[in-house]
Amino acid sequence: MTDCRGDARAVIRVMVVDDHPMWRDGVARDLGERGDLGERGFEVVATAVDGAAALRIVAAARPDVVLMDLHFGAKGPSGAETTRCLIESDPDLRVLVLSASGADADVLAAIQAGASGYLMKSASLDELVDAVRRTAEGDAVFTAGLAGLLLGEYRRIARGPHDDVPHLTERETEVLRQVATGHTARQIANALVISHRTVENHVQSTLRKLQLHNRVELARYAIEHGLAQ
Amino acid sequence: MPAGTDIMMPLWRGVVLFRAITAAFAIAAITVHHHGFARPALGWAVLAGIAVWTVVTCLAYSYDRTRRTLTIVIDLLVTLALMSSSALVLSTEQLTEVAQRTPLLTTVWASGPVVAVAVHAGGAAGAMFGVAVAVVDVWVRGFFSVDLARDMILLVGTGFVLGLAATAARRASEQLRRASRAEAAATERERLARSVHDSVVQVLARVRARSGQLDGEAGELARLAGEQEMALRYLFSTATPGATGEQDLASAVRLLAGPRVEVSAPATAVPLPAADVDELVAVVREALANTARHGGPEAKSWVLVEDLDDEVVLSVRDDGPGLDSDQLVGAVHDGRMGVSRSIRGRVADLGATLTLDTGPGRGTEWEVRLARVRHGVAR
């Protein structure tokens, strides 16, 4: 595929993973049409029907952002496994979950495996474009639903048997509760008298701590079950 | 008795076997004692009667399930009649000297109807039949003694305990049947949900996502399709109460999500007593209805469910115009406080606490905190 627009970094390379052909091709077409107006455009460099196909072609396609539905059917790696493998293969890669289901446990698993955000499939094209752009820039795409999932997950692991689990600071809990009840980053910044960037940092930190904890847990599991040396 | 018929079959086989064995015992007893009878000929006739009636009842209990109550009542009457005939057959010595162990002609065979009715109708009926047989026993003998009292206790006790066991077995089988039916329904719903999710929901979600770029009637149609997508998605996530009578608040509240309502909750279940879940869902519904009526057409709502272990917190917020203190007073007249009163009433009934945070331009936020009851500790 030839990029004729000169500066390759001006284009966000996107891979779409979805088992539904209408979505796979539709999202690819939608994103392809957006790319003017002086902002970073998109190039859909690959599409894949499931996690296994995505892992096969990711090295050749070299996307910046993988836009992934979690719903692949029974066989092959799950959405969360695919996310982990993708990020292991290239730590600079960003995964944005695009899901039509209310299967919150799946979304949470993908987030813990390293996905930087989550968007409902019913989101408008503008929201999608904005989310992909922010994901490419390394920001977390936070919806109210995701904040609620994270609050619940931190409390769940606090109930567990281990002491060395991550906790939310009071400020982080406050920020997540505000996000979960629909406040914008600007509203939160005003309410807590902090900068917009600080709000973003708090949100990122809640995500990072959980992802790190997930990696520690996986390693612990592997050692306990003799899978690691 | 269509339900639980299968589970009762082994018990009925037991009743039939018991009838046959006690009949053999009664026939042997008559044969042994017939030398002392006042009317030996009538004695042999009663023996034949016991044999015939045993065959008739065994067949009836094995094959005829439709007229069981009638069969059992007739069985009792026939048995009592054969038992009473002892008064004519046995000699006065045989009747009065219980200590010499001359049983009535029917002996233990007379407990047959007691066992049958206990299996059929439960402990109370078993005990009543036991009393009937014991009373006739005393009446035929013409006196009461410790031995007769012992027989009476055994008869009534057997009927009662066996009846309780039969009722318990029937209930257990009914529960099992209900549970397996619920499981089959859940499996079927999961299969339907998967299929609907893979096809209809994907298409509708796509239509909804593009609705922003369409104008006029096309846009309106897309918006309607989008609402159907949400309705379908949540239709299949309905939670059913578990065996403990607890229900997941998170999945119950998720059903309220829609184009203007976003629900946030933990991925794991938030168990609460089913009645509390119903009330909390009703509170959220009223708060959402309030926003829909007074918040303006563009107002959005967010619902957050949090499980803090010792309490459950439910927050409902909208980005409508909100209320200042003058409006709060004025709201009494235009109906908004009616909703507020109703919400307050429900929350008070639950024993929960309610906080209302509102102000001009700030939207409205309700927060309900419900302390959790743990391990049967009363609230």
CATH of the domain at B356: 3.30.565.10
And the tokens for B276? 């509390």
Calculate mean pLDDT across residues B321-327. Answer: 66
Note the pLDDT of residue B148: 85
CB within 8 Å: A100 and B213: no
Domain boundary among B176, B192, B212: B176
B245 in the same domain as B165: no
Closest-CA distance, B345 to chain A, in angstroms, reads 24
Closest-CA distance, A32 to chain B, in angstroms, reads 15
Note the pLDDT of residue A102: 58
B158 within some domain: yes
Calculate mean pLDDT across residues B103-128. Answer: 92
Exposed e or buried b for every residue in B308-338, given b needs 16+ CB within 10 A? eeeebbbbbbbbbbbbeeebeeebeeeebbe
The band of A223, judged by pLDDT with boundaries at 50, 70 and 90, is confident
CA A141 to chain CA centroid, Å, is: 7
B154 within some domain: yes
Nearest CA in chain B to A191: B362
The band of A1, judged by pLDDT with boundaries at 50, 70 and 90, is very low
Count the domains in chain B.
2
Closest-CA distance, B1 to chain A, in angstroms, reads 43
Q: Which residues from B are below 8 Å from A101, CB to CB? A: 197, 201, 233
CB within 8 Å: A122 and B319: no
The band of B120, judged by pLDDT with boundaries at 50, 70 and 90, is very high
Lowest-pLDDT choice from B210-224, B246-260, B317-331: B317-331
B256 in the same domain as B341: yes
Sheet holding A65-68, edge to edge: A41-48, A11-17, A65-68, A94-99, A117-120
Cα–Cα distance, A134 to A228 (Å, whole number): 36
Which tens digit of pLDDT belongs to each residue from B42-51?
A: 999 999 999 9
Mean pLDDT of all residues belonging to chain B: 83
Pairing of strands A41-48, A11-17: parallel
B191 within some domain: no
Cα–Cα distance, B163 to B167 (Å, whole number): 6
CA angle, corner B276, sides to B275 and B281, nearest 5? 100
Note the pLDDT of residue A228: 55
Note the pLDDT of residue B376: 47
Q: Give how far Cα B159 sits from Cα of A162, B120, B126, B171, B345, Å.
A: 56, 11, 4, 18, 51
B364 within some domain: yes
B57 in the same domain as B171: yes
B151 in the same domain as B299: no
Q: Is the pLDDT of residue B29 over 80?
A: yes
Note the pLDDT of residue B184: 86
Calculate mean pLDDT across residues B318-347. Answer: 68
Q: Which residues from A are below 8 Å from B226, CB to CB? A: 122
B377 within some domain: yes
Domain boundary among B160, B176, B192: B176
Closest-CA distance, B329 to chain A, in angstroms, reads 26
Note the pLDDT of residue A21: 83
Q: Which residue has the higher pLDDT, B20 or B198?
A: B20
B106 within some domain: yes
Note the pLDDT of residue B317: 93
- Of B237, B304, B365, Cβ closest to residue A148: B304
Closest-CA distance, B259 to chain A, in angstroms, reads 9
CB within 8 Å: A122 and B263: no
Calculate mean pLDDT across residues B121-125. Answer: 93
Q: Is the pLDDT of residue B333 over 60?
A: no
B229 within some domain: no
Note the pLDDT of residue B374: 57
Range ranked top by mean pLDDT from B27-41, B281-295, B301-315: B301-315
B250 in the same domain as B109: no
Which tens digit of pLDDT belongs to each residue from A123-141?
A: 888 888 889 988 998 888 8
% residues pLDDT > 70 (chain B): 88
Chain A interface disruption, residue of B237, B256, B260, B304, most A CBs within 10 A: B304
The band of B95, judged by pLDDT with boundaries at 50, 70 and 90, is confident
Q: Which residues from A are below 8 Å from B266, CB to CB? A: 104, 148-149, 151-153, 155-156
B164 in the same domain as B16: yes
Question: For chain A, how far is it from start to end, CA to CA, in angstroms?
Answer: 43
DSSP letters spanning B315-362: EEEE-S----HHHHHHHHHHTHHHHHHHHHHHHHHHT-EEEEEEETTT
The band of B91, judged by pLDDT with boundaries at 50, 70 and 90, is confident
B243 in the same domain as B167: no
Nearest CA in chain B to A173: B306
Mean pLDDT of all residues belonging to chain A: 84
CA B48 to chain CA centroid, Å, is: 47
B251 in the same domain as B169: no
CB within 8 Å: B264 and A149: yes
- Of B203, B234, B262, Cβ closest to residue A182: B262
Domain that holds residue B263: 239-379
The band of B338, judged by pLDDT with boundaries at 50, 70 and 90, is low
Calculate mean pLDDT across residues B25-31. Answer: 92
Note the pLDDT of residue A221: 79
Q: Which residues from A are below 8 Å from B190, CB to CB? A: none
Residues A53, A85 contacting (CB under 8 angstroms)? no
Which tens digit of pLDDT belongs to each residue from B152-174?
A: 999 999 999 999 999 999 999 88
Does residue B247 sit in helix, strand or coil? strand
Residue A14 sits at φ, ψ, to 5 deg, of -120, 140
Note the pLDDT of residue B355: 87
Cα–Cα distance, A154 to A178 (Å, whole number): 16
Chain B interface disruption, residue of A19, A106, A108, A181, most B CBs within 10 A: A181
Note the pLDDT of residue B214: 77
Residues B262, B302 contacting (CB under 8 angstroms)? yes
Which tens digit of pLDDT belongs to each residue from A67-117?
A: 998 877 667 888 889 999 999 888 899 999 988 765 678 888 898 899 988
B260 in the same domain as B160: no
B264 in the same domain as B162: no
* Burial of A218: CB neighbours in 10 Å, binned 0-12, 13-18, 19+: middle
B297 within some domain: yes
Domains recognised in chain A with CATH numbers: 8-141 (3.40.50.2300), 145-224 (1.10.10.10)
Note the pLDDT of residue A57: 92
Non-local (6+) Cβ contacts of A56 within 8 A are A48
The interface predicted TM-score (ipTM) is 0.83
B265 in the same domain as B147: no
B373 in the same domain as B251: yes
* Burial of A120: CB neighbours in 10 Å, binned 0-12, 13-18, 19+: buried
Q: Is the pLDDT of residue B378 over 50?
A: no
Question: Across chain A, where does the E strand assignment appear?
Answer: 11-17, 41-48, 65-68, 94-99, 117-120
- Of B211, B308, B365, Cβ closest to residue A181: B365
Does residue B296 sit in helix, strand or coil? coil
CB within 8 Å: B265 and A148: yes
And the tokens for A62? 């070299």
Note the pLDDT of residue A8: 47
